[in-house]
Copies of this chain bind each other. A is one copy, B any other.
Amino acid sequence: MLEKIDLSRKLGKDEYKAAAGELRERLGELQRGARRANLPIIVLFEGWEASGKGTLMNELILPLDPRGFRVHYVHSIGEDDQNAYWPPLRRFWDITPPRGSIGIFSHSWYRLVLDGAARTPDSKTYEDISSFERQLAQDGAVIIKFFLHISKKEQKRRLLKMDADSSSKWRVSAKEWRENENYEKRATRIDEMIQYTDRDYAPWTLIEAHDKRHAVVKILATVANRIEKRLGEAEAPKDEPTPPEGETAVSQAPLGGSTLSPSVLKNLNLNKSISTEEYREKLPKLQEKLRELQYELYKVRRPMVIAFEGQDAAGKGGCIKRLTQKLDPRGYHVSPTASPNDWERAHHYLWRFWEAFPKAGHIGIYDRSWYGRVLVERVEGFASEDEWRRAYGEINEMEDQWVRYGTIIVKLWLQINSEEQLARFTDRQQNPEKGWKITDEDWRNREKWPKYEEAAEEMMLRTSTTYAPWVIVEANDKRYARIKVLTRAIETAQNALGMS
Contacts and interface: CB of A to CB of B under 8 A. Distances in A.
A367 B54 contact: no
A66 B367 contact: yes
Given A25-B433, A32-B436, A343-B343, A170 B330 contact: no
Contacts of A42: none
A326 interface: yes
A366 to B, nearest CB: 10
Interface stretch (A109-117, A331-339, A386-394): A331-339
A55 to B, nearest CB: 8
Contact of A325 (B62, B71, B326, B328): B62
Q: How large is the interface on A (under 10, 10 to 19, 20 to 34, 35 or more residues)?
A: 35 or more
Nearest to A58: B329
B343 A67 contact: no
A70 interface: yes
Nearest to A338: B67
A167 interface: yes
A326 B58 contact: yes
A175 interface: no
Contacts of A67: 336, 338, 367
A129 B32 CA distance: 43
Contact of A324 (B62, B325, B326, B336): B62
A171 B73 CA distance: 37
A85 to B, nearest CB: 12
A341 interface: yes
A63 to B, nearest CB: 9
Interface in A160-194: 167-168, 170-171
A299 B80 contact: no
Given A66-B320, A325-B58, A73 B342 contact: no
Contacts of A338: 67
A321 interface: yes
Copies of this subunit: 2
Contacts of A66: 320, 334-336, 367
A270 interface: no
A455 to B, nearest CB: 23
A171 B436 CA distance: 41
B367 A58 contact: no
Contacts of A342: 341-342
Contacts of A25: 433
A338 B53 CA distance: 30
A335 B71 CA distance: 11
A325 B24 CA distance: 14
A82 interface: yes
A405 interface: no
Interface in A131-175: 167-168, 170-171
A62 B318 CA distance: 11
Given A73-B330, A167-B292, A82 B80 contact: no
A167 B295 contact: yes
A445 interface: no
A170 to B, nearest CB: 6
Given A62-B321, A295-B170, A106 B336 contact: no
Contact of A329 (B32, B57, B335): B57
Interface in A276-316: 292, 295, 299
A65 B330 CA distance: 17
Given A82-B82, A334-B66, A341-B342, A106 B329 contact: yes
A333 B71 contact: yes
A292 to B, nearest CB: 5
Interface in A220-259: none
Contacts of A55: 328
A494 B49 CA distance: 29
20 contacts: A25-B433, A55-B328, A58-B324, A61-B324, A61-B329, A62-B324, A65-B336, A66-B335, A66-B336, A66-B367, A67-B336, A71-B333, A73-B330, A81-B82, A104-B329, A168-B295, A170-B299, A341-B342, A342-B342, A343-B343
Given A32-B436, A106-B329, A106-B330, 11 more contacts: A57-B330, A58-B325, A58-B328, A62-B321, A66-B335, A66-B367, A67-B336, A70-B333, A71-B330, A71-B333, A341-B342
